[in-house]
Amino acid sequence: MKRCLDEAYPNAHCELDFTTPLELLVAVILSAQCTDQRVNEVTPALFARYRTAAAYAGADRIELEELIRPTGFYRNKATSLMGLGAALVERHDGEVPGTLADLVRLPGVGRKTANVVLGEAFDVPGITVDTHFGRLVRRWGWTSDEDPVKVENEVGELIPRKEWTMLSHRVIFHGRRVCHARKPACGACPLAVDCPSYGTGPTEFEVAAKLVKGAERDHLLSLVHDAS
C-alpha cells in the first residue's frame, strides 16, 4: 500500500504556503478546523503585518482577530498566536525551536503541529496524525487505535523513519482526493486491491471516478485503468 501511495503521489507536499519556520508554525495553528486553501488566503496579509515572534507577542488583539477571522475560532487562535510569540521571545530568542519537546511546550502547539514543523522546516522525520491520516490508517487496518500518539507510534513501527514525513503527506493527499470520509472513491482507488475496507464507497469505476478530486485526478485514474 505504501508503494502504491508513492506511485500515486510522488510530489505530495505540505499544502500550506510559508517561507520561514515561524510562518509555517502560524499557518498550521490557523489550519485547525479550517482548510489549507482558506489559510493560504489569509496568511499573505498576516505574514506581511507580523514578521517576527515579537510582533505576534505585541499584536493588537482586535487587529489580529480581524485578519484571521476567516479561519474560524479566531479568538482562540489569536490567543494562541499571541502566546506563541511571547513564549518564543522568552524561551528561544524569538526563533522556532527544532525539537519536539520544545515545540509541544509552546501555546497552541500539539504533536501534530510539531511534527509538521519538524518535517517541513527542519527536515526531521515525523508522522502527522491529522483527521485524514487517522481515518485512513484505521480503514487500512494499519492500526485500530483512536489515540493520535498511539497511532503515530504504531504506524512508525511499520514504516522506515526516513520516510515518515513523505508518508504523512501522501496519506493526507489520498484522504483529500480519493478516500473521503463519507463516500470514498473505492472503484477508482489505486490502493483498492490491498484495502480491507474496499466497498465502503461505490465500487463502479465510472461512479467512483466522479468522486476523485485534485490536480492529480487524471494520473490517479490512469493508475487504476493500467492495473485493470
Would you call 130 a catalytic residue per the annotation?
Answer: yes
Cell matching residue 226: 493500467
Task: Quote the CA–CA distance of 129 and 116 in Å, as a whole number.
Answer: 10
Quickly list H helices, 69-211: 74-92, 100-103, 111-121, 131-139, 148-158, 164-177, 205-209
Residue from 130, 145, 213, 218 carrying the catalytic annotation: 130
Task: Quote the CA–CA distance of 170 and 196 in Å, as a whole number.
Answer: 19
Task: Quote the CA–CA distance of 153 and 25 in Å, as a whole number.
Answer: 23
Burial classification of residue 44, based on how many CB atoms lie within 10 Å of its CB (0-12 exposed, 13-18 middle, 19 or more buried)? exposed
Task: Quote the CA–CA distance of 226 and 228 in Å, as a whole number.
Answer: 5
Q: Which residues of 205-217 are buried (b: 16+ CB within 10 A; e: fewer)?
A: beebbebbeeebe
Residue from 77, 112, 194, 226 carrying the catalytic annotation: 112
- For 111, list phi and psi in degrees, rounded to 5: -65, -40
Cell matching residue 181: 470520509
Cell matching residue 72: 474560524
- Terminal Cα-to-Cα distance of the chain (whole angstroms): 17
Would you call 213 a catalytic residue per the annotation?
Answer: no
- Give catalytic residues, as residue numbers: 112, 130
